[in-house]
Amino acid sequence: LQNPNASTPAKELFARKSTPVPGRPRSIGIHSKGCLAGAVPLAMNGPGWQVMRPSRNRYWGHPQAVHFVERLAKNAKKIGWNGLLIGDIAQPRGGPMLADHSSHQNGLDVDVWFTPMPDHVQSRKEREFTEGTEMVTPDQLDVDRQVWTPTHAALIRAAAEDPVVVRVLVNPAIKKALCREAGTDRTWLYKVRPWYGHAEHFHVQTACPEDSPDCQPPTPTQANDGCTTDLDFWFKESTLHPPPSKPKPPLTLADLPAACRQIVKTR
C-alpha cells in the first residue's frame, strides 16, 4: 500500500506535533530542509527576554540556540538595550512550518525583534497582537531615521560577534545603514547579509553543533563586508519589485533527511 504521508506536505505533519521527540538533542539537515530531535523550550520570560507569538509554539530549539539567546540578552543589556523580544525559533520537532518561513527547520535559527522589550511582563494578548517596528522606509531604500538608532546597530553587532553565529540576515536597507555606520572595525559585518523582508526583525543562524552529525552546515559567508557590489544588487528595480513567480511545491517527507520521517511519526 502507498504511504499516506508520501504526498502530504511535510509542514502539515510537523505542525501537528505539539511536543518534542525525547532524547538527546540533534539538529538534522539544513535550516531549509531539516528537523529536530530532543528540542528544548526557551522560557517565556527570562532575565532580559520575552517570547512573542507563543500560540505558534515555535519557541523550541537545539540547546545551542537557547543558550545563544541567553548570552545575547546579557550582552544586549551592556549596550543599553532593554531586553529582547524573541520571535520564531523552531517547532517542537522542527521541520517546515505552515506559514512565514522556509527556514527555521533544524532548531538553529532565531528571530530577534527590532522592538526592545517593554518594562513589564507582557500579557498573552500583548504577545500575540503587538506589531513589530518597521525599520525601513516605504521605498525600501534606507532605514527610517525616526526609529533607527545606533543601539540597533550595536545589537546586530553583538549577535554577529557571538562565536556560534554563522550568519545574520537583515533587510538590505538595514545592511546599507550598517555599512555606512560601522566605522573601521568591520569584520563582524562579514556575517551580516541582506535578504528579503527582515525589516521588523533580524534572523540569526547558528552553526551545526558538535552533537549533531546529521546537521549540514550552511554555506559560509564571503570574507568581505558585503558593502559594495554585493549590496548594489539589492537596490536594483528588478530586485526591489520582482515580477510574480510561480510558488514552489511544498516539501514532502521524501524531500527531508531520512531521519526526519521517524521524528515526525514518533508519538
CA–CA separation, 52 vs 63, rounded Å?
19
110-147 pLDDT, tens per residue?
999 999 999 999 999 999 999 999 999 999 999 999 99
Query: Residue 86: its pLDDT value, please?
Result: 98
Give the mean pLDDT of 230-235.
94
**pTM, 2 dp:** 0.95
Residue 244: per-residue pLDDT: 85
Top pLDDT among 221 and 19 is at 19
Q: Please give, one letter per residue, the 3-state secondary structure of the chain.
A: CCCCCCCCCHHHHHHCCCCCCCCCCEEEEECCEEEEECCEECCCEECCEEECCHHHCCEEECHHHHHHHHHHHHHHHHCCCCCEEECCCECCCCCCCCCCCCCCCCCCEEEEECCCCCCCCCCHHHHHHCCCCCCECCCCCCECCCCCCHHHHHHHHHHHCCCCEEEEEECHHHHHHHHHHCCCCCHHHHHEEECCCCCCEEEEEECCCCCCCCECCCCCCCCCCCCCHHHHHHHCHHHHCCCCCCCCCCCCHHHCCHHHHHHHHCC
Q: How far does the chain reach from its first CA to its final CA, in angstroms? A: 22
pLDDT at residue 158 greater than cutoff 80: yes
Among 261, 267, 266, 265, residue whose Cα is nearest residue 29? 261
Question: What is the per-residue pLDDT across 3-27, written as a single tens digit (0 to 9) for each?
Answer: 556 678 999 999 999 999 999 999 9
Residue 2 has pLDDT above 50, yes or no: no
User: What does the block give as the cell for 162?
Assistant: 557571538
Per-residue pLDDT tens for 250-262?
Answer: 999 999 999 999 9
Rounded Cα–Cα distance for residues 108 and 154 (Å) = 22
Closest CA to 249 of 7, 50, 4, 60: 7
Percentage of the chain lying above the pLDDT 90 cut: 88
Residue 103 CA to residue 89 CA, distance in Å, equals 10
- Compute how many other C-beta atoms are within 10 angstroms of the C-beta atom of residue 31: 24
Q: CA–CA separation, 233 vs 240, rounded Å?
A: 9
- pLDDT attached to residue 199: 96
Rounded CA-CA distance 89/56 in Å is 10
Strand partners, 45: 50
Q: Rounded mean pLDDT of 33-59?
A: 98
Name which of 75-79, 89-93, 215-219 the model is least confident about: 215-219
